[in-house]
Chains A and B, each alone.
Chain A
Amino acid sequence: MYADDGVTPISLIALNPGEEGQVVYIHGGWGILRRLAELGIYPGAIVRMENKSWGPVVVSVAGVRIAIGRGVASRIYVRPLRRR
């Protein structure tokens, strides 16, 4: 399930607002992994950074906006997608 194409994954919080990335790996307890998957964030999902002021970051995935605490967000790894 890893997208192994040579591009090194970066942390979700490294994305700038408006940029998109494909989730490759999430590091965390099972409870967190499950909750993220319930909301649509799982390896393979395409997320877009919406808002990155202080505190939690806001991303959108499949038309849903989700606020995620920075600690959790930093452990979500994505492969940046080139903007169309």
Chain B
Amino acid sequence: MVKKILVALAGNPNVGKSTLFNALTGLHQYTANWPGKTVERKEGIVKYKGYELKLVDLPGTYSLTAFSLEEVLARRFIVDEKPDVVIHVANATTLEKDLYLTLQLLELTDKVVLALNMIDVAESKGIKINSTKLSKILGIPVVKISAYRKTGLDKLLDIVIALAEGRIKTSPLQISYGPEIEALIGRISSSLKEYDLHGYTPRWVAIKLLEGDQEILDLLKGFPNGTDLLKLLAPSISTYISKKRVRYEPLCPGCPSRQKVKQGEPICMLIAAKRRTIINNIIKLTVSGLKAESISDTLDKYILHRVLGPITLFGIFAIAFAFVFTIGGLLSDYVSSGMDYITGLLSNYLVNRIPSLLHNFLINGILAALSTVLSFIPLIFVFFLVYSIMEDSGYLARGAVIMDRFMHTLGLHGKAFLSVIMAFGCNVPGIMATRALESERDRLIAMLINPLIPCSARLGVMAFIISLFFPGSIAVVVMLSLILLSLSLVAIIGSLLNKLLRGERGRELIIELPEYRIPSPRNVILLTWTRVRDFLERAGTIIVLGSIFIWFLYTFPTGNFETSYGALFGRLLEPIAKAMGLDWRAITSLVFGILAKEQVLAAMSIIYGPDLSTILRSSWSPLQAITFLVIFMIYEPCIATIAITKRESGSWLWTLFSLSYTISLSILIGLIVYNVGSLL
């Protein structure tokens, strides 16, 4: 009988947690979302000395006090699923920062082992850590490891097993927050005794309340007499201690000058400062070695430079974009033509051997759908390759800093910049790139506005139709105006969603800039591979089913496109189309375009006739053409985007919202453009 052990990996972002996860699990890993959430959940299996360890990679967090969803997920996992052992992965070069999480983990569970990762890097910098002493002070095992070089991993696993089996006893460091705060903690926790605290201890809940933790406040509000209880506790929670006045200088001449100064300090700050003071003392006792200016500091002087920074950023992104969409695009084309070839062969072989409806279903339904999914693989693969390299190397965080101010004009956070840039190539990687965002709410906003950014497929069709109606230089102006329109819509919808959506507001940027490092190829490939597989498994299914549905719409009941349900639907929409100066044929092509935007041209040549250019030129005025393009540009890009929105948001509701708001918006703007345009 194999003994199973459940292990959680906790740690700050940028400590090499995923490198350790990859080093331990290799290919035996899979990703999912945390139930109903947008946060990625990675799990893997390690077989070691007859044990089977199930590793769950908790979201990277700096603490266990709710700031965003990640902290809540991490601590709920520890409390609800009771892992046998929690490995806290810390970066040995930034131990002082990382120990903040250790102290909080020790308040929640005693089955913790501290893994000092990147010990090789720390030692090369002259940092010496006395792990025996550290272990004694913290009361838990401490292991020095290097996930990158794979050293110390066996020792870590041995300790994990020993901890799980109770062969190692821990005596976690208990923090005393000082007489004043301890008195408050005591008072609050005694009034919480008779409540069901969802597995948390009264002392822990009391501390979180004093820190102003939102999830815990909500938990208490949910109690039958929760509001009364909170009112009772309110004075303690909002207490400010050690009152003192301090004068502040105005920030600059003419600034809104002397800030009003609150008296004393909020309790959450005192608690944090207490923890920090303890950590500071621990560091003094266990860590020695001076740090000279690192290469990262020198590099940052150029990379974050006022002038050089944006130039470098532009260069790197031009290369990244070109790489993703030329190499990825080229490979995608190969896959498509390969699939076309196979489809052609199969079609010829089957044409007289099976009933024509079945033939149609196989060729135009199933194989076409598979071809769509497969042709996405190279694109997704190259995108994640680039994304992982940027993330792993530490550049992604710098990009966010440089783009922060600009992104705020779009109503977005600095970290959303990659998502916006990628969306011009394809919305699928664009939406995937929102993973860089910490707050679930910000991520949702970035995901919802993403379809408004015209992807290369749309830009291609737009360029074709524009060229039919406008000569050279005017065509460029029309194209640029349309792109400007879509970016304005991004800004408007972005700030609207920012106002309307509840949850923590898009905060100002506060991010850690990790050391630059050369990405580990193994890490990058593994990360890319699990993400591509995940895309195939989950988004792929939706794309195939959706494509078959569209095929059905445009084949049944007669087998003829023009008399199909789809065309019927287009005719139903004729009144709306008329109001925008268009007819059922245009609308039907647009509905068909949900399959993939470049398919619109194919659909149009079926509906309008093979000589599309001449027919369009004679039947549309330039205004009608522009109206058509505006609608075409704004409504939901394609099934793949719908699928990836579902995959990343974890919610059908938001996926439907994305679909319906872009369609309504396209109709609205279409109406405005046509009717205002007619007046001119």
Contact = CB atoms under 8 A, between A and B. Distances in A.
A67 B510 contact: yes
Given A27-B262, A38-B272, 7 more contacts: A2-B242, A11-B249, A30-B211, A42-B276, A53-B306, A53-B309, A56-B508
A72 interface: yes
Contacts of A11: 248-249, 251
Interface stretch (B62-70, B75-83, B111-119, B421-429): B62-70
A69 B63 contact: no
A37 to B, nearest CB: 3
Nearest to B305: A53
B404 A74 contact: no
Nearest to A27: B259
B474 interface: no
A68 B510 CA distance: 5
A72 B97 contact: no
A58 B266 contact: no
Interface string A29-45: 01111111111101111
Interface residues of B, number: 58
A49 interface: no
Nearest to A33: B269
B354 interface: no
B391 interface: no
Nearest to B65: A34
Interface string A58-84: 101011111111111011010000000
Contacts, number: 163
B251 A65 contact: no
A19 interface: no
Interface in B282-316: 283, 291, 296-297, 300-301, 304-306, 309
B201 interface: no
10 contacts: A38-B62, A38-B63, A38-B67, A53-B304, A54-B405, A55-B401, A65-B512, A67-B509, A71-B508, A75-B259
Contacts of B275: 37
Contacts of A75: 259
A69 to B, nearest CB: 3
By secondary structure, the A interface counts as mixed
Contacts of B270: 1
A47 interface: no
Contacts of A60: 297
Interface string B239-275: 0001010111101000000010110011011101101
Contacts of B100: 37-38, 40
Contacts of A44: 273, 276-277, 280
Contacts of B300: 50-51, 58, 65
Interface of A: 1-2, 4, 8-11, 13-14, 24-27, 30-40, 42-45, 50-51, 53-56, 58, 60, 62-72, 74-75, 77
Interface of B: 62-63, 65, 67, 93-94, 96-97, 100-101, 211-212, 242, 244, 246-249, 251, 259, 261-262, 265-266, 268-270, 272-273, 275-277, 280, 283, 291, 296-297, 300-301, 304-306, 309, 397, 400-402, 404-405, 414, 504, 507-513
A20 to B, nearest CB: 14
Contacts of B273: 1, 37, 42-44
Contacts of A69: 404, 507-510
B96 A62 contact: yes
A56 B405 CA distance: 8
Given A34-B272, A62-B97, A56 B246 contact: no
A30 B266 contact: yes
B212 A30 contact: yes
A44 B29 CA distance: 43
Given A34-B268, A38-B100, A74-B251, A56 B401 contact: yes
Contact of B512 (A2, A14, A39): A39
A43 B272 CA distance: 9
Given A38-B100, A50-B300, A31 B276 contact: no
A45 B276 contact: yes
Contacts of B304: 51, 53, 58
A42 B272 CA distance: 7
Contacts of A64: 94, 96-97, 512
A25 B246 CA distance: 9
Given A9-B246, A66-B511, A39 B305 contact: no
Contacts of A37: 100, 269, 272-273, 275-276
Nearest to B250: A11
A62 to B, nearest CB: 4
A63 B291 contact: yes
Nearest to B267: A30
A35 B510 contact: yes
Contact of B397 (A10, A53, A62, A67): A67
A20 B297 CA distance: 15
B69 to A, nearest CB: 13
Contacts of B291: 63
A32 B297 contact: no
The 4 closest A-B pairs by CB, nearest first: A69-B508, A37-B272, A38-B62, A53-B306
